[in-house]
Amino acid sequence: MSQGSMSRRLTAERAGEWIRRWELQQQRYACDREARFTVIADVVETATATVARPLIADLGCGPGSLAARLAERLPNAEVVGVDTDPLLLALGRAHHGTAVRFADVTIGAPGWLAALDLGRPLDAVVSATALHYLPEPALLAVYEQVRKSLPPRGVLVNGDHLFQEDPAVATLAEVVARRHAERHGADAHEDWSGWWAAAASAPELAAPLAERARRGPGAGGDNGLTLQRHVDLLHKAGFAAAGPVWQYGPSCVLVAVRGT
């Protein structure tokens, strides 16, 4: 193999370097991100404690940041990461592919759960900083579909920016998040645009980037739903219980439990 072709191959080591860089830029946007991941894993571990080989789906998994942590915490679990970004999926498969199965599936599209080819019911569903891009009707449908896919007492755990109803409280929560970022130097890392600009010049990422461009812009933006509105939608979707178990500023871990 020539030196040039080797430089264009996405190795597990090179993918790991890009993922570590991704993790740093993500810290700019998620207040106490590592603690949030730990809380999600605590909930999933507790909810699946009696299951010999739990099946867990991570919705909007990106390069597998949360999915890989769950696979490490629960070595007997089968973890499926769900996303549609070709570049992030390529990074995840190259670096975390032995621990996580990655599925190129659009969340909420017709038949999306069946397209995961799970073979058995899910035991837990998680998501981190991803479901906010779904419009409210689509989010409600996803919540309903996820509830039906879970066993009694199964959990949906969503870590995201979930805003307070009262604007004054929401403003103060943003101040808390900003002060946390300042104290921990989160803004010293490159931002979202900087990471993608760097990736655009990397030969080993050319193929997944070309596929990303071919597919066109994916879902983006924020549905603007408050924490309480998410809770209301989860109850409307049929979950027996729903509420936050952790929050720092606007960064929240919201848990929904299916009834018995």
> Residue 189: what pLDDT?
82
Q: Kindly write down the DSSP assignment for every residue of 231-250, as one continuous string.
A: HHHHHHTT-SEEEEEEEETT
CATH number at residue 206: 3.40.50.150
pTM recorded for the entire structure: 0.93
Domain boundaries, position 125: 3-257
> Residue 5: what pLDDT?
42
What is the total count of domains within the chain? 1
Low-confidence ranges of the chain (pLDDT < 50): 1-6
> Residue 29: what pLDDT?
83
> Residue 1: what pLDDT?
40
